Amino acid sequence: MKPASKPSVHDPARGAGRRSARGEAARRRLKEAATRVLDRVGFHQMRVKDVTDEAGVAAGLFYHYFKDLRELVDELLDEHIAGFEAVEAIERDVSKGDWFNRLRAHYEICVRVHAEHPGIMRCIAQFSADDPDFRERWKRSFDRRLHLLIDVFPYVFPKCSLNKAEVELLVHGLGGVGKELMSEYYIDRDPRLRAVELSQAEMAEWLAALLYRGLFARNPPAGQLRYASRILEITRE
Amino acid sequence: MKPASKPSVHDPARGAGRRSARGEAARRRLKEAATRVLDRVGFHQMRVKDVTDEAGVAAGLFYHYFKDLRELVDELLDEHIAGFEAVEAIERDVSKGDWFNRLRAHYEICVRVHAEHPGIMRCIAQFSADDPDFRERWKRSFDRRLHLLIDVFPYVFPKCSLNKAEVELLVHGLGGVGKELMSEYYIDRDPRLRAVELSQAEMAEWLAALLYRGLFARNPPAGQLRYASRILEITRE
DNA sequence: ATTATTATTGAACTTAAATTCAATTTCAAC
DNA sequence: GTTGAAATTGAATTTAAGTTCAATAATAAT
């Protein structure tokens, strides 16, 4: 039932030659099954049979579409990583000088993917710890966003004498703000943290505010805080 | 056929069973070999044979001392995690109200383990992403340190209306500061970050200063900065 | 010196999972 | 409705690693 949808020739995967719409759909069904298995057991416990069972097909069919689990999961992760990289779309409604809202916009997408696809994010963490090539790919995506700040750092802080490499280090240090928390809140779902129910927008704002404080050593503009205004109370004035 | 006399090597109390000094030494040699293999290839690529080869013994000997790789590595990690938990020792020379130096002291030990045993820290990250039980163990160790702050938060910030659970969330958000950077600098050894050569003391001070800013929305006391005084320049006053 | 205990070896065995493939079914085009 | 390409099956095979164990060596105890 697909209108003139292009027969995917772009597929770098092996055996990507001719494939019917029916086959395309089966391939996607396997990927969706894999996503569910990832959420349940994580990459290292996932077996080919888990995926084919979840999809309700025979084990052998897997190899008609994928070389191995790694190929499938790589494709899956790529789809999500691409979302992180759409910097222009992310910052569409924010002015360049408005750092608090820029930070917020980036956290919003990051929080969203964590909340909606915890298995995918856990898998990204697992691959990053394991495989230098994947880590490089993931880090490039992250670096790209950090460089939005690194590249203009000298203009934002004209009095600061840190050189380029030192700024890189500093921004990477701050860039970690929230990663741990998102992982514990959305992937691990730690009950003690879950005691506070936060919407995605609230989580993103809190994290943006924390990073803002680390970066500017002051609070974000009070008027821009929609949920996290109580962060202004955290002070010893 | 010696019913009760034979102390099976598969005894659950393997670690405590009878063992000569010679055996004790061989056991340790396997652990040290495993540490080197971990540094080289990480846990998921590590094979029993890698460890016995590295130690220069036959494959079968491994099972005389350990049930499986996981048991060996668990013991190895425990030894290091214990070091993180010695809070009293860590804070020995610091007064309770001196938050900057308390933060510094905690970062110092964390930086040291990262620098000296990157394979161990990577392995902790791998296990944490994989195994709920281990994650729980590791997080308990981390939480204990975070609670040094969480428990006194209302006294440190008397004007702050956040409740206990919200403070927990906040502190976990800030607690991630530096994890990412230490991982990239010491485990991944990213050349772009390595362009700046930092001593352990310098790294610890920078991270403590960043966290201090996030926590207090201001700079740490200038007089206490030994290496990172240029962080004071990062401001838009 | 004799005996008992523990350490060590490495080839043989076991296991779990990945992978193949010949046979069969489905479907779309003609 | 015939045909052929693609999809699908699942039992059979392969693979890579874990694991055992009978035999031997080293060491300690008496």
| Residue A174 near chain B (CB below 8 Å) | yes
Short-list A100, A176, A90, A178, CA closest to A139: A176
Compute the distance between CA of residue B214 and CA of residue A215 in angstroms, rounded to an integer. Answer: 8
Give nucleotides in strand C with any atom < 7 A to a protein C-beta: 5-11, 17-22, 27-28
Chain A residue with CA closest to B184: the answer is: A172
Nucleotides of D under 7 A from a protein CB: 5-11, 17-22, 27-28
Of the pLDDT bands very low, low, confident and very high (cuts 50, 70, 90), residue B90 is confident
Strand C–CB A79 distance below 7 A: no
Q: Is the CB of A14 under 7 A from strand C?
A: no
B192 and chain A in contact, CB less than 8 A: yes
Give which of A98, A213, A232 to mutate to test B binding, by max B Cβ within 10 Å: A213
The pLDDT of residue A7 is 33
Does B5 contact strand C, using a CB cutoff of 7 Å?
Answer: yes
Interface test with chain B among A196, A205, A229, A237, by most B beta carbons within 10 Å: A196
Residue B147 near chain A (CB below 8 Å): no
Residue A234 with chain B: CB contacts under 8 Å: 157, 160, 162, 170, 215-217
- The phi and psi torsions of B9 (rounded to 5 degrees) equal -70, -10
Class of domain B20-66: mainly alpha
Q: Do B235 and A130 touch (CB under 8 A)?
A: no
pLDDT number for residue A15: 43
Min Cα distance A210 → chain B (Å) is: 6
Give how far the C-alpha of residue A59 lies from the chain's centroid of Cα atoms, to the nearest Å.
31
B1 touches strand D (CB under 7 A): no
Q: Smallest CA–CA separation between B1 and chain A, in Å?
A: 40
Packing angle of the helix pair B69-85, B118-130 (nearest 10 deg): 110
Over B13-65, what HEC string results?
A: CHHHCCCCHHHHHHHHHHHHHHHHHHHHHCCCCCCHHHHHHHHCCCHHHHHHH
Domain ranges of chain A: 21-66, 72-233
CATH of domain A72-233: 1.10.357
Tokens of A182: 């998102």
Q: What does each C-alpha distance from A115 to A74, A79, A201, B128, B200 come to in angstroms?
A: 20, 16, 11, 19, 36
Q: What pLDDT is stored for residue A118 in this prediction?
A: 95
Tens of pLDDT, residue by residue over B184-236, are 999 999 999 999 999 999 999 999 999 999 999 999 999 999 999 999 999 87
What is the 3-state secondary structure of A8-36?
CCCCCCCCCCCCCHHHHHHHHHHHHHHHH
Are B175 and A180 in contact (CB < 8 Å)? yes
Q: What integer pLDDT is reported at residue A234 of this predicted model?
A: 92
Instruction: Sort B78 into a burial class: Cβ within 10 Å, 0-12 / 13-18 / 19+.
Output: exposed
In this complex, the nucleotide whose C1' atom is nearest to the CA atom of residue B26 is C7
Any idea which fold B72-229 has?
Answer: Tetracycline Repressor; domain 2 (1.10.357)
* CA distances to A41, A180, A189, A220, A225 from A118, in Å: 11, 13, 10, 29, 27
**What CATH number was assigned to the domain covering residues A21-66?**
1.10.10.60
What's the pLDDT at A2?
Answer: 30
pLDDT tens readout for residues B149-177: 999 999 999 999 999 999 999 999 999 89
pLDDT, residue A85, reads 85
Interface test with B, best of A177, A179, A189 (most B CBs within 10 A): A177
- The reply to whether the CB atom of residue A159 sits less than 7 A from any atom in nucleic acid chain C is no
Task: Select from B159, B208, B209, B178 the least CA-distant residue to A231.
Answer: B159
Low-confidence ranges of chain A (pLDDT < 70): 1-18, 237
Does the pLDDT at position B9 exceed 90?
no
